[in-house]
Structure 1
Amino acid sequence: MVHEDLFARLNEAGYKNWLKAGYCLLKVKDGLWEYVDSEMRIFHNTIIENNTFLQRGQMCRSNCRPRGNQFESACPLCNEWKMEILRHHTKPHCIINWGNCRPWLWSSEHWELAKAFMPRGLADLSRADQCDAAALLNLLHFCDHFSFINPNNVTEVIRCRNELMHSCEMQVSNEWMARFQKNLEQLLLTLRHIPKVAAAGQQIQEMLSVDLSLHIPGVDSVDGATVDGVLIESISQCETELLRESLKDLLNNSELDGNVVPLEKLQNIDRFLSSNKDLEEEFSTELQSLRVLEAKQLQGVNADNAER
């Protein structure tokens, strides 16, 4: 059976919860990205209309670039855009991920402007549909264009998302799911006037109310053959997307200065992937990177023990 390993994983209630919550976040992304893209076009145009310097329609001729996550030296045009970003950032004194941006495109590309309000690691993305739920939610939180949304609702969903992605066991409890569902419903209620968000909300409600191993919203639950065919392919695709996002988060965080991923977490994820042949094959590259991190961590632990 092609999906035998996946069927076994779905026997674990905590893992099934993890997968269902992740599916909900994928639907949040699907519901939000077109709306957010449209609103950022409006935001970009509004900034230009209200700034006499930017109204001149100039383009950066200096190819201004951040250095890492710092952006201090800039031409007058890019510096003006930088000031506008700070002016419209809800937390301007926090870390702003300038490294996401290509400043010389701020005058012409609305999504380059959007990326200044997002988490790090998005430099290579140029469109809204390439972003995950976390990126879009951070944009809603940190750009004051979306100030009509209760920031507490956004931060709670972001917190749940981070807990989900950083779960080294890939499992969450029923109590966690109840909290996640409540936070998600409160956020989506604010955006229910957006048709695609409303549709995503309906799909989320369906997902949270069914047994994932038997039924996926939009697919008739009939017999074992259907589960083994269309349905299980949908589940498998969802699982792959979630695990890839989780591993990307972990590996990106490990690259931050002074950030050390706990050895136990690395080992748990290694063990999880290695114990499932299908996942071990699918994520062989990521697994290799994990093991490099494990080796470094073990080397550090052994060095500390030797000094004692």
Structure 2
Amino acid sequence: MVREQLVVRLNDREYKNWLKAGRCLLILKDGLHPFIGQQMRAFHGDLLNQNPLLRKPCETSSCKPKGNKLSRLCRLCTAWQTAILRHHRQPDATVNWDNCFPPSWRTDPWEVAKAYMPRGQGKVKGADQCDASALLNLINYCDRFQFVDPKFVREVIRYRNELMHSCELRMKDEWMRHYQTSLKHLVQQFSHIPQMAKVGQEIDKMLAVDLLICVSGVDQLDSGDLDGLECDSVHQGEPSANLISQWEAELLQERLQELLHADDNDDTKTQDAEQLRGLGGFLQANSDLGERFSAELQTINSLEARK
């Protein structure tokens, strides 16, 4: 049976907005990653064909970043570093070299792709393992995607950050309208990719659904909002309660992992700690989520105890 807490959360319109907006990012990611994976394989092949030196293996097999710096690279890994920067659309921007293992640049296209991504991608092995932020940053920074107007990419990245950094996990209707327009403009940039037409349709459908559910015994919690709903049911065309719960868990998991693995040297450390504390409180206040994320809550509590 659907948990009472889920029903209560979905009766909060602005929390429901947060959940729907986050689900749109997952839809976007799922639509983008096959195309991006193919493009990075082609990009890698082009680099190898353009410079025969890049086909030779690392001379030491031990070239690696120290922190976010690359120093004492062999001449072959240095050639790869130069090639990566040559194709960076904003070469003055910070490059997260600590995402990469330079000896693998010759053989693994995704090791090259990670140089154009936000920090924390070191263990990621392919586009299908990335969140929307990582893929959008890759599109923004790598000139393989120069057919995409970066202003539309950056706009969606900005909305994504506002969504994921929302302390209350709540988004207003006006924000949602601007967000939908931003997503539409970005998806149009990929109109030549067949699967992206479906992505646009799925995003519009997600933003239009009510996500209304009702559970036996809890209609008294908010009878005004629950009038007309049948218990243990969903409206026709609405996703099931189990599916909604799964979407919610995926979105919360992404935010938890981002906060728990934040860079200790980052200027936003204090803000991240406050948001992690707030998210932990939200999970504890909702017993169904507290049970699902019990391991993460233990980690949060351990971090708090150290202070």
Is it true that 1:247 corresponds to 2:256 in the alignment? yes
Distance of 1:257 and 1:118 partners within structure 2:
16
Match of 2:60 in 1: 62
Match of 2:46 in 1: 46
Is it true that 1:207 corresponds to 2:216 in the alignment? no
Match of 1:147 in 2: 146
8 Å contact from structure 2 (residues 167, 279) kept in 1: yes
Distance of 2:21 and 2:267 partners within structure 1:
30
Match of 2:217 in 1: none
8 Å contact from structure 2 (residues 20, 207) kept in 1: yes
8 Å contact from structure 2 (residues 283, 290) kept in 1: yes
What is the CA-CA distance between 1:53 and the residue it aligns to? 2.0
Relative to 1, partners in 2 of residues 1:41 and 1:173: Cα closer, same or farther, differing over 3 Å? same
Match of 1:123 in 2: 122
Match of 1:21 in 2: 21
Is it true that 1:275 corresponds to 2:273 in the alignment? no
Q: 1:27 is aligned with what amino acid?
A: I
Q: 2:252 is aligned with what amino acid?
A: L
Match of 2:265 in 1: 256
Distance of 1:223 and 1:45 partners within structure 2:
57
Q: 2:83 is aligned with what amino acid?
A: E
Unpaired runs of 5+ in structure 1?
Answer: 215-221, 300-308
Relative to 1, partners in 2 of residues 1:14 and 1:254: Cα closer, same or farther, differing over 3 Å? farther
Relative to 1, partners in 2 of residues 1:213 and 1:254: Cα closer, same or farther, differing over 3 Å? farther
Relative to 1, partners in 2 of residues 1:223 and 1:201: Cα closer, same or farther, differing over 3 Å? farther
8 Å contact from structure 1 (residues 191, 197) kept in 2: yes
What is the CA-CA distance between 1:258 and the residue it aligns to? 4.4
Relative to 1, partners in 2 of residues 1:134 and 1:257: Cα closer, same or farther, differing over 3 Å? closer
8 Å contact from structure 1 (residues 22, 164) kept in 2: yes
1:80-119 aligned at under 5 Å gives the runs: 80-119=79-118
Match of 1:287 in 2: 297
8 Å contact from structure 1 (residues 59, 107) kept in 2: yes
What is the CA-CA distance between 1:239 and the residue it aligns to? 0.5
Match of 1:306 in 2: none
Match of 1:74 in 2: 73
Distance of 1:41 and 1:33 partners within structure 2:
12
Distance of 1:292 and 1:174 partners within structure 2:
37
Relative to structure 2, which stretch is displaced further, 162-171 or 257-266? 257-266
What is the CA-CA distance between 1:194 and the residue it aligns to? 1.1
Match of 1:304 in 2: none
Relative to 1, partners in 2 of residues 1:266 and 1:135: Cα closer, same or farther, differing over 3 Å? closer
Match of 2:216 in 1: none
How far does the alpha carbon of each residue in 1:161-211 deviate from its partner, in whole angstroms, 9 at most, with x for none?
111111111111101111111111000011122122111111111111121
What is the percentage of aligned positions where both structures have the same residue? Answer: 47
Relative to 1, partners in 2 of residues 1:254 and 1:8: Cα closer, same or farther, differing over 3 Å? farther
What is the Cα-based RMSD across aligned positions, in Å?
Answer: 2.1
Unpaired runs of 5+ in structure 2?
Answer: 214-228
8 Å contact from structure 1 (residues 254, 261) kept in 2: no
Q: Tell me the number of residue pairs that the alignment of Structure 1 and Structure 2 aligns.
A: 289
Relative to 1, partners in 2 of residues 1:264 and 1:116: Cα closer, same or farther, differing over 3 Å? closer
Distance of 1:119 and 1:264 partners within structure 2:
21
Where 1:17 maps in the other structure, the secondary structure is: helix
Q: 1:165 is aligned with what amino acid?
A: M
Relative to 1, partners in 2 of residues 1:292 and 1:116: Cα closer, same or farther, differing over 3 Å? same
Relative to 1, partners in 2 of residues 1:124 and 1:267: Cα closer, same or farther, differing over 3 Å? closer
